Amino acid sequence: MHLSELLSQAVTTLAQCPSPRLDAEILLAWVLDRPRSWLRAYPEYQLSAAAVASYTDLIRRRAQGEPVAYLRGEQEFWSLALQVTPDTLIPRPETELLVELALLACRDLKAPRIADLGTGSGAVAIALQYQRRDALLVGVDISAAALTVATANARRHQVTVDFRCGHWCEPLAAEAFHLIVANPPYIETDSPWLTQNGLPYEPQMALVAAENGLAALRQIIATAAKHLLHGGQLLLEHGHNQAVAVAALLIEHGYQGITLHHDLAGLPRVTAATLGLRGVGEGVD
């Protein structure tokens, strides 16, 4: 079967997906181990029966809602190819804002100590260590299976991250950090989003939180302070409708210099706060 014919059939099969053409091309490029541009340059390429069978199976699974990242076993984040499995959340582009802000926060520090809570695939911790080789990075996750993936990703990109299994700040013991970052679960338990966009395939404990999605954020805010150095910062990713609630929790626990940052879609995405030092722009902007 010619490449163009197979691709056309796949696009039709994926008609109910948000991006049928893109998904079909990404998966075919994956099967053939070629860049997407190659597909367009060689539309008459004849695929082997094995390649057709493999691709057809992937398209069937994608049509049923399985995320492309899990089908490939890989997702790009911060221009780094990362292994992902159903044990790990799929890193989103909007979470790169967390990395940008963290790098900005520690730009004047030598050998900054950074903890990444809920590290999952290790995406944020690995991206930070990749950019700041002098930093000491600790990645925490309650899932041992996720940490196995994170360890493999760190090895792949030749960075050193101290991955620890446990619940939020518990594995940090008595240590203190210049910066603590977290992308915790923050989707409400009854949110309709949980049935869409492949979310049923992702680990629910990395997505869903009680108390209107605030339970994990509340616990991190309450416990992170004792693990921050004086003047240290806490960076939290949260839902677009949770900024006011997060700011109130931070104020309640004595944080200052609270600033809100928007993602590329213009949505409130990350709140930063400082411990023991009044920062510029105090109050949610």
Helices 96-105 & 123-131 angle (0-180, nearest 10): 40
Distance CA 118, CA 128 (A): 15
Which domains does the chain carry?
Answer: 3-64 (1.10.8.10), 87-275 (3.40.50.150)
Predicted pLDDT of residue 277: 54
Pairing of strands 113-117, 80-83: unpaired
pLDDT per position as a tens digit, 39-83: 999 999 999 999 999 999 999 999 999 999 999 999 999 999 999
The structure tokens 């996720």 sit at 146
Distance CA 147, CA 142 (A): 8
Distance CA 131, CA 163 (A): 18
Whether residue 256 contacts residue 281, with contact meaning beta carbons closer than 8 Å, is answered with no
Whether residue 149 contacts residue 89, with contact meaning beta carbons closer than 8 Å, is answered with no
Distance CA 119, CA 126 (A): 9
The per-residue pLDDT string of the chain (285 residues; one tens digit each, 9 = 90 and over) reads: 789 999 999 999 999 999 999 999 999 999 999 999 999 999 999 999 999 999 999 999 999 999 999 999 999 999 999 999 999 999 999 999 999 999 999 999 999 999 999 999 999 999 999 999 999 999 999 999 999 999 999 999 999 999 999 999 999 999 999 999 999 999 999 888 888 888 899 999 999 999 999 999 999 999 999 999 999 999 999 999 999 999 999 999 999 999 999 999 999 999 999 987 533 333 333
- Sheet of 162-165: strand order equals 162-165, 136-141, 113-117, 177-182, 228-237, 268-275, 255-262
DSSP calls for 253-264: TTEEEEEEEE-T
The structure tokens 């979470």 sit at 95
Distance CA 128, CA 177 (A): 14
Helices 20-32 & 3-13 angle (0-180, nearest 10): 140
